[in-house]
């Protein structure tokens, strides 16, 4: 077991060491400027659109820029923290765009759409947290991983319950009560 951990640590350190030399400061600055220029071009393409289509386009452009910047940072200074930031940037970009798309809906359908998007965001955040904890190798790793996994699982389950509860809101009477009870039982809520 100890040998496997040492080999894994060695492999990861070699991978990060190779990536650390991949980009100079000049290349980093040029890439950062290219990302900004690409964002401006994408925003200009959105100008011809109207209403919510324009909002969705702008959200997508911002998301692409945010993810590109996070990926650039991860490439320039590889670390578990930057890898987590990339995952979070992707999740937040997808969430923001999904929320904009939900604006085309109304009433309970819109509420469900937003809750479903939130579930995906919460899951991605929890998974990023677990991945970062797994990448940080220390003596207390197994203890920390247990706590992080439990917390992530709780966050996911709570978000899924809220989305299921929102779906039940479109129902009435005994059917709604049954739906809520089923959701509580499925996700272990009281």
**Residues with Cβ within 8 Å of residue 11, at least 6 apart in sequence:** none
Model confidence over 21-52: pLDDT tens digits? Answer: 567 889 999 999 999 999 999 999 999 999 99
Q: Is residue 17 part of a domain?
A: no
Two tokens at 24? Answer: 């100079």
Q: What percent of the chain has pLDDT over 90?
A: 44
pTM of the predicted protein model: 0.69
Two tokens at 15? Answer: 């991978």
Number of folded domains in the chain? 1
Given a cut of 80, is residue 151 above it in pLDDT?
A: yes
Two tokens at 40? Answer: 């401006």
Most confident of 1-10, 62-71, 77-86, 145-154: 62-71
Q: Is residue 165 part of a domain?
A: yes
Per the structure, the complete domain to which residue 121 belongs is given by 105-190
Dihedral sign for Cα atoms in the order 13, 19, 21, 25: negative
């Amino acid at each position: 077991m100890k040998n496997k951990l040492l080999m894994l640590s060695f492999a990861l350190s070699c991978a990060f060491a190779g990536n650390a030399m991949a980009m100079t400061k000049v290349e980093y600055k040029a890439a950062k400027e290219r990302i900004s220029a690409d964002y401006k071009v994408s925003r200009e393409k959105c100008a011809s659109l109207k209403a919510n289509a324009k909002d969705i386009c702008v959200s997508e452009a911002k998301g692409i820029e945010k993810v590109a910047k996070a990926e650039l940072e991860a490439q320039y200074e590889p670390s578990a923290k930057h890898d987590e930031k990339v995952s979070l940037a992707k999740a937040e970009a997808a969430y923001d765009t999904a929320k904009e798309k939900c604006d085309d809906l109304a009433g309970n359908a819109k509420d469900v759409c937003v809750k479903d998007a939130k579930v995906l965001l919460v899951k991605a955040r929890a998974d990023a947290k677990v991945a970062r904890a797994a990448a940080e190798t220390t003596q207390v790793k197994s203890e920390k991983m247990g706590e992080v996994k439990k917390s992530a699982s709780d966050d996911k389950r709570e978000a899924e319950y809220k989305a299921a509860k929102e779906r039940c809101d479109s129902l009435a009477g005994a059917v709604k009560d049954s739906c809520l009870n089923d959701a509580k039982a499925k996700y272990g809520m009281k």
